[in-house]
């Protein structure tokens, strides 16, 4: 079957964007993606919006975004699977092109999160867990992932320093990313002095909410080769699910949805984890990146702590991971995150990442998790 290519990318600054509404954030990314692709808005056949509506005052968000972008009366629709909404939007557009329904589709991940208070956000995120038996007891996202961290430490000897070394790495690269929320490096000592959040997590173990948007424009193989100078191909598209309740999971030291999504993506792209040069993974908490190393096959189960301690996920290591700062330093506007990951990998495969560039990057991967692992999307991207 013919391939689907990415022909344009756009990315706004993540942060506390009191200067822009959600549709203005979407426009920033869309405008830049059109310019990058060298096409006009009339060339867009449809748009897919990745966002979580509960965080916005506006209901039916795609309508106001589509109107503001000036793309009416073309079709538009919303995808929502918690923090993986952006990657779900990309997959939906990919399927529409594969089916022959559309030729060129804009995917926009956009989210305004800072209009709500931290307690309101924690309440919303806590209800992504199983409502009947878990969230009624006051579960929060940090607490869920703290369970994973404590179990990983118990079974494999993973240390607090190894967890925080993920944060040190991601802030190191985030300092080089002009779109990141946090652009300052941190030391391990500073991270260890930060306040506790949910044992064993401290402040620097946790990503921050943000406002922001990112856009990718997808096209059929014929259109991509005609339009783009450097198309990047979505050759592996895996997604999978797991139980809503973590109590019904087989263990707490990995995400079964991530393992299955990776298996599907690798098989479709006819590559293995050893072929991946650069990856953007869902590091909502430091342990999440360590779990991703293992779930994606970059190292064996239980060896993720040693993987970061040995700097194998830095540029120059086995596979460069989150060299845009990841969620940890870049920020996490949940609907935009998956699209932002894809933008970064496209930059890397085109050789346009500047001082963060991974040499000889020809195969890249994104890993976007929704909820507490209820959903996972893994993409394998490749350049010609």
Q: Do 255 and 295 touch, CB atoms closer than 8 A?
A: yes
Determine which of 142-146, 257-261, 307-311, 364-368 has the lowest per-residue pLDDT on average.
Answer: 142-146
Torsion of CA 38, 342, 181, 361, to 10 degrees: -90
The CATH label, of 2.60.40.1220, 1.10.510.10, 3.40.47.10, 3.20.20.10, for the domain at 128-208+234-383 is: 3.40.47.10
**Distance of alpha carbon 218 from alpha carbon 93, whole angstroms:** 7
Q: Which residue has the higher pLDDT, 133 or 16?
A: 16
Query: Cα angle vertex 335, ends 251, 121, to 5°?
Result: 75
Instruction: Give the residue extent of every domain in the chain.
Output: 4-116+210-233, 128-208+234-383
pLDDT score at 140? 87
CATH 3.40.47.10 assigned to 4-116+210-233: yes
Q: Is the pLDDT of residue 125 over 70?
A: yes
Exactly one of 102, 282, 332, 367 is catalytic; which is it? 332
Query: Based on the number of CB atoms within 10 Å of its own CB, is 351 exposed (0-12), middle (13-18) or buried (19 or more)?
Result: middle
Determine which of 104-118, 161-175, 297-311 has the lowest per-residue pLDDT on average.
Answer: 104-118
Two tokens at 324? 């845009």
Q: Do 107 and 237 touch, CB atoms closer than 8 A?
A: no
Query: How confident is the model over 354-370, as a mean pLDDT?
Result: 98
Q: How many CA atoms lie within 13 A of 270 on its CB side?
A: 0
Query: How confident is the model over 135-157, as a mean pLDDT?
Result: 93
Confidence band, pLDDT 50/70/90 cuts, at residue 118: confident
Is 332 marked active-site? yes
Query: How confident is the model over 258-285, as a mean pLDDT?
Result: 98
Q: Is the pLDDT of residue 61 over 70?
A: yes
Q: Is the pLDDT of residue 35 over 90?
A: yes
Is 376 marked active-site? no
pTM for the predicted model, two decimal places: 0.97
Same fold, 4-116+210-233 and 128-208+234-383: yes
Query: How confident is the model over 201-226, as a mean pLDDT?
Result: 97
pLDDT score at 1? 66
What residue has token string 């009624």? 136
Query: How confident is the model over 147-159, as a mean pLDDT?
Result: 98
CA 204 to chain centre: 19
pLDDT score at 138? 81
**Distance of alpha carbon 366 from alpha carbon 344, whole angstroms:** 9
CA-based Rg of the chain, rounded to a whole angstrom? 19
Output DSSP code: residue 357: P
Q: Is the pLDDT of residue 107 over 80?
A: yes
Q: Do 83 and 51 touch, CB atoms closer than 8 A?
A: no
pLDDT score at 208? 94
pLDDT score at 124? 79
Average pLDDT over all residues of the chain = 96
Exactly one of 83, 239, 299, 376 is catalytic; which is it? 83
């Amino acid at each position: 079957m013919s391939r689907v290519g990415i022909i344009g990318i756009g990315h706004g600054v993540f942060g506390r964007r009191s200067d822009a509404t959600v549709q203005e954030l979407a426009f920033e990314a869309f405008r830049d993606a059109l310019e990058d692709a060298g096409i006009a808005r009339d060339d867009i056949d449809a748009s897919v919006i990745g966002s979580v509506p509960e965080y916005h005052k506006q209901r039916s968000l795609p309508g106001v975004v589509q109107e503001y972008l000036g793309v009416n009366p073309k079709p538009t629709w919303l995808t929502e699977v918690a923090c993986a909404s952006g990657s779900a939007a990309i997959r939906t557009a990919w399927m529409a092109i594969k089916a022959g329904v559309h030729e060129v589709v804009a995917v926009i991940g956009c989210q305004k999160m800072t209009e709500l208070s931290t307690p309101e956000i924690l309440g919303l995120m806590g209800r992504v867990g199983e409502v009947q038996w878990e969230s009624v007891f006051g579960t929060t996202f940090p607490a869920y992932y703290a369970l994973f961290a404590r179990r990983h430490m118990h079974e494999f000897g993973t240390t607090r320093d190894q967890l925080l070394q993920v944060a040190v790495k991601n802030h190191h690269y985030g300092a080089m990313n002009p779109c990141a929320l946090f652009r300052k490096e941190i030391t391990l000592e500073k991270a260890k002095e930060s306040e506790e959040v949910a044992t064993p997590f401290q402040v620097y173990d946790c990503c921050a909410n943000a406002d922001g948007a990112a856009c990718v424009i997808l096209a059929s193989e014929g259109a991509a080769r005609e339009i783009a100078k450097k198309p990047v191909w979505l050759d592996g598209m895996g997604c999978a699910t797991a139980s809503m309740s973590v109590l019904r999971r087989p263990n707490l030291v990995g995400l079964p949805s991530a393992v299955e999504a990776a298996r599907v993506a690798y098989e479709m792209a006819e590559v293995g984890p050893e072929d991946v040069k650069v990856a953007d993974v869902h590091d909502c908490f430091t342990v999440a990146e360590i779990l991703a190393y293992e779930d994606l096959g970059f190292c064996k189960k239980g060896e993720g702590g040693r993987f970061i301690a040995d700097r194998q996920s830095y540029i120059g290591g086995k596979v460069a991971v989150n060299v845009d700062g990841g969620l940890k330093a870049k920020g996490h506007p949940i609907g935009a995150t998956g699209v932002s990951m894809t933008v970064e990998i496209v930059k890397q495969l085109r050789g346009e990442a500047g001082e963060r560039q991974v040499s000889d990057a020809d195969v890249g991967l994104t890993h976007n998790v929704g909820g507490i692992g209820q959903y996972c999307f893994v993409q394998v991207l490749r350049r010609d």
